[in-house]
């Protein structure tokens, strides 16, 4: 079971761009809570506290206990709007979750023991992380903060696919129900020199037409 994460908020009655702008000037973040059987509710949060919270992985992938004026609702962060160049969070969207209804959420992957694996200890081998997160389906109580990918036995030439991930009890990957073509690679271990040869081949191919053009100009 995931660690509980509590976020405090207060309701707001005034909406619109002007009201949101005044909130930001007062170091608060305008936000909305939607979903479930209740109507959407505009709220506001302390910018400094949320700025610190959003630096942690759990803020994006965990069930949050959102305390609104003393009443707690379980929510997931669904959207965050940031200022294009200032360190300011402009707006947040939270979705209510039902304890008895399965949800979908993106969960980060944690890659373990890569350096001690056969591939990691071999010179000239690249270990590529093709995915850094995966969408899962489960009940809110079963939502993991992350999924571990043990690379301790990873060897050169090996590919770890989505279907090989060890999932916690009650957790599924919806994409795997769509067909074998959706069982994509998560990790690939291959020779680094393969990429080097491909990179050096491209400039040589580009030089051939240039040489031909030069000879035509001489004629």
Q: Is the pLDDT at 207 greater than 60, yes or no? A: no
| Confidence at 201, pLDDT banded by 50, 70, 90 | low
Backbone angles phi, psi at 150, to 5 degrees: -85, 115
Which residues make beta-bridge pairs with 96? 75
**124-164 pLDDT tens trace:** 999 999 999 999 999 999 999 999 999 999 999 999 999 99
By the 10 Å C-beta count (0-12 exposed, 13-18 middle, 19+ buried), 166 is classed as exposed
Domain residues of the chain, as ranges?
Answer: 5-96, 103-196
22 vs 109: which has the higher pLDDT: 109
Q: What is the mean pLDDT of the chain?
A: 88
Query: Once rounded to an integer, what is the mean pLDDT over residues 180-193?
Result: 94
Residue 214: per-residue pLDDT: 46
Q: Which CATH superfamily does the domain covering 5-96 fall into?
A: Ribosomal Protein L25; Chain P (2.40.240.10)
pLDDT, tens only, 30-59: 999 999 888 999 999 999 999 999 999 999
pLDDT over 50 at 211, yes or no: no
pLDDT in tens, 55-108: 999 999 999 999 999 999 999 999 999 999 999 999 999 999 999 999 999 999
How far the first Cα of the chain sits from its last, in Å, is 77
Residue 9 CA, distance from chain mean position: 24
Where residue 196 falls among pLDDT bands split at 50, 70, 90? very low
Task: Decide: pTM greater than 0.75.
Answer: yes
CATH fold for the domain made of 103-196: RNA Polymerase Alpha Subunit; Chain A, domain 2 (2.170.120)
Whether the per-residue pLDDT at 186 is higher than 70: the answer is yes
Give pLDDT, residue 2.
57
Render 79-132 in DSSP notation, one character per residue.
EEEE-SSSS-EEEEEEEE--TTS-EEEEEEEEEES-TTSTTTTSTTEEEEES-S
Return the pLDDT at 203: 52
Span 203-215, average pLDDT: 47
| Residue 25 scores a pLDDT above 60 | yes
* pLDDT the model gives residue 19: 78
């Amino acid at each position: 079971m995931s660690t509980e994460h509590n976020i405090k908020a207060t309701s707001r009655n005034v909406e619109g761009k002007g009201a949101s702008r005044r909130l930001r000037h007062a170091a608060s973040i305008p936000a909305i809570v939607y979903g479930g059987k209740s109507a959407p509710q505009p709220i506001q949060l302390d910018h400094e506290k949320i700025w610190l919270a959003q630096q942690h992985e759990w803020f994006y992938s965990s069930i949050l206990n959102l305390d609104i004026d003393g009443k707690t609702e379980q929510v997931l962060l669904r959207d965050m709007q940031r200022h294009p160049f200032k360190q300011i969070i402009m707006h947040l969207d939270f979705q209510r979750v039902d304890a008895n209804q399965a949800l979908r959420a993106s969960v980060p992957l944690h890659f373990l023991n890569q350096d001690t694996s056969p591939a990691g200890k071999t010179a000239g081998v690249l270990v590529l992380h093709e995915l850094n997160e995966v969408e899962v389906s489960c009940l809110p109580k079963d939502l993991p903060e992350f999924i571990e990918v043990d690379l301790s036995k990873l060897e050169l030439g090996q590919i770890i696919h989505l279907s090989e991930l060890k999932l916690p009890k009650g957790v599924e990957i919806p994409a795997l129900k769509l067909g074998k073509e959706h069982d994509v690679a998560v990790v690939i271990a291959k020779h680094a020199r393969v990429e080097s040869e491909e990179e050096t081949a491209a400039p040589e191919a580009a030089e051939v037409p240039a040489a031909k053009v030069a000879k035509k100009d001489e004629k």
